[in-house]
Amino acid sequence: MPSLRRRHLFTIFAAALCFAPIAARARDITDSAGRHEELPDRIGHVFAAGPPASTLLYVLAPDKMDGWIRPPTPAEQPYLLPAVRALPTVGRLTGHGGSLNLERLVADKPDLVFDFGTVSDTYKSLADQVQAQTGIPYLLIDGRFDNTPAALRQVAGILGVGPRGEQLARAAEAIFAGVDQVLAAIPADKRPRVYLARGPEGLETGSRGSINTEIIERVGAINVVEGLREKGGLVTASPEQIIAWAPDTIITLDRRFRDSVHDKPAWQSIPAVAKGRVFLAPDLPFGFIDSPPSVNRLIGLTWLLHVLYPDHVQGDLRTQVRDFYQLFYQVTPDDAALDRLLNTTG
């Protein structure tokens, strides 16, 4: 009988072990800055340090979002999942307007903070400082445009949504391949000369190699802005410089500029304005060119192909945009929503 009692107790103990909660295992992750971090095996909630990271997090795992950098506008909300439209505004850690209180971050208790974009000593130092003060793991992910497929796979693996990341990464690779196929048929001297106009006056722009204009350069266009800054970044141009650069196409992010540029005497001699080739980039729920410079730029590549190379690109833009939104943003715009989004040509 004692042996039976011991076997009975052992059976109860073994069953209890089966149903007992298992502590989350730790795993070692190396981020794009070479920083080694220990993360829990399962990631619940995530804090995105800036807009590019927030967009990446939304397309991969919207259920893991702590909130938005800024609240979506009424115009943006229909292009987002209903479940995330009313998430709280949590602020940002990086970039202009960084305003997050670290006490608020600690109180929110995210499992992870991550940033997606430039990997430099400045961002590395910030990540180390925030992690030291909060005890929350902080990852830096390389946000270079051509690294988008790899970043989708990397972050999806960290968040435990590998199949979703693989699906989106393959779609990104297909978009890049489609761009290269079009460019292969267009000689370099036949590529458009493009000026990116930012702000209501159109004088803010991006120099060659900047994160703001790399999508224009990736689509094979010539960014006319040169001589204002040695390294890529935002710069201010004068009307005289833009006249001298003589762009044949202008891409703008500002509707006010698009609507008024034909009435500006200083701009009327510029070939792009004279020929009516001023195009307003779509921006719902995220910008097609930057704003932010994240995975949203993938559909910007498709849009730019249709704008810059209409005789070489294949497929219907509306269908391609709808398919992208359905896959990446998990919403399907109806015809009216597509009209609002794409009615942007000057």
Domain ranges of the chain: 26-179, 186-342
**Does residue 108 have a pLDDT over 90?**
no
Q: 137-165 burial by CB neighbour count: b if 16+ within 10 A, else e? A: bbbbbbbebeebbbbbbbbbebbebeeeb
- In this prediction, residues 135-163 reach a mean pLDDT of 97
Sheet holding 222-223, edge to edge: 222-223, 193-197, 249-252, 278-280
Query: Residue 17's pLDDT band (boundaries 50, 70, 90)?
Result: very low
Query: What pLDDT sits at residue 205?
Result: 95
| Residues 47-96: tens digit of each pLDDT | 999 999 999 999 999 999 989 999 999 999 999 999 999 999 988 887 66
Peptide bond before residue 292 is cis, with ω within 30 degrees of 0: yes
Q: Would you say 278 and 346 are in contact if contact means Cβ atoms under 8 Å apart?
A: yes
**Does residue 23 have a pLDDT over 80?**
no
Q: Would you say 40 and 111 are in contact if contact means Cβ atoms under 8 Å apart?
A: yes
Q: What is the DSSP letter of 275?
A: T
Do the domains spanning 26-179 and 186-342 agree at the CATH topology level? Answer: yes
- In this prediction, residues 97-119 reach a mean pLDDT of 85
Percentage, residues of the chain above pLDDT 90: 79
Query: What pLDDT sits at residue 20?
Result: 38
> What tokens were used for 155?
């972050």
Percentage, residues of the chain above pLDDT 70: 89
What's the chain's length in residues?
A: 346
3-state secondary structure of 284: coil
The second-level CATH assignment, the architecture, of 26-179 is 3-Layer(aba) Sandwich (3.40)
Q: Would you say 46 and 64 are in contact if contact means Cβ atoms under 8 Å apart?
A: yes
Task: Return the CATH number of 186-342, one of 3.40.50.1980, 3.40.640.10, 1.10.1740.10, 1.10.10.10.
Answer: 3.40.50.1980
| Residues 205-250: tens digit of each pLDDT | 998 888 889 999 999 999 999 867 666 678 999 999 999 999 999 9
Q: Would you say 268 and 261 are in contact if contact means Cβ atoms under 8 Å apart?
A: no
Query: What pLDDT sits at residue 106?
Result: 87
> What tokens were used for 57?
């997090």
